[in-house]
Amino acid sequence: MWLVFMGPPGAGKGTQAQRLAGYLGVPHLSTGDMLRLACQQQTPLGTEAGRYMTSGKLVPDPLILQLIGQRLEQSDCARGALFDGFPRTLPQAEALDKYLADRGTPLDLVVELSVADDVVIQRLAGRGRNDDQPEVISERLHHYRQMTAPLVEYYRRRGLHRLIDGVGTTDEVFRRIAASIEHQRRSGGQQPIAP
């Protein structure tokens, strides 16, 4: 199964994405994690990407597409993947579509966790990190909304987008996500998998 996972900072996206990848039996591909690793290893791509990351900017599309393209060639991605933090721009979404269409395995679903701004601000403020100050949180949320709005529209038009209520315990939210995916699998004629 090929799935894009989206959600604002503080929505519990990382935890859910990891759990969901395990449930689906596909690798969890976080471009943020991959970039941080490339920075640590001081690869040419990592060094260049690092310059953007430290100033809070998006890494240019060609670098991201090179990184994700290399990762998708690995054998564990043969049956699908869960994308986390990617795509972040329309050209990235279009490139992913083209890549998957060429393989004959189109994207199955885009899951977006929905959490109201005041809930996100409350949750993040509780973590006490430097970038979790209220003004910075609002700024990050604003960027997130700006960035994702066109992507949500892009996927919604193709009937792939599912909005999941991200408020509740980890288990409650996970059950909602899994139910939405199983519904999609059934309507797609595929066999459900055991929870």
**Catalytic residue annotation:** 13, 88, 127, 129, 140
- Residue 109's nearest CA partner among 41, 52, 179 is 179
What is the DSSP secondary structure assignment for residue 131, as one 8-state letter?
G
Kindly state the smallest distance separating residue 185's Cβ from ligand AMP, in Å: 26
Q: Is 31 in the site for ligand AMP (CB under 6 A)?
A: yes
User: Who contacts 179 (Cβ-Cβ below 8 Å, separation ≥6)?
Assistant: none
Kindly state the smallest distance separating residue 31's Cβ from ligand AMP, in Å: 3
Counting Cβ atoms within 10 Å, is residue 117 exposed (0-12), middle (13-18) or buried (19+)? middle
Q: How far apart are the first and last CA of the chain?
A: 15
Q: Interacting stretch for ligand AMP, rule CB under 6 A, among 69-77, 81-89, 100-108, 125-133? A: 81-89
**Is 57 in a helix, a strand, or coil?**
coil
What does the alpha-carbon distance between residue 177 and residue 120 come to, in Å, rounded to a whole number? 19
Q: Is 52 in the site for ligand AMP (CB under 6 A)?
A: yes
Restricted to residues 56-75, the positions that interact with ligand AMP (CB under 6 A) are 57-59, 64
Kindly state the smallest distance separating residue 114's Cβ from ligand AMP, in Å: 18
Q: Is 147 in the site for ligand AMP (CB under 6 A)?
A: no
Please report, as ranges, the residues that interact with ligand AMP according to CB under 6 A.
31-32, 35, 52-53, 57-59, 64, 85-86, 88, 92
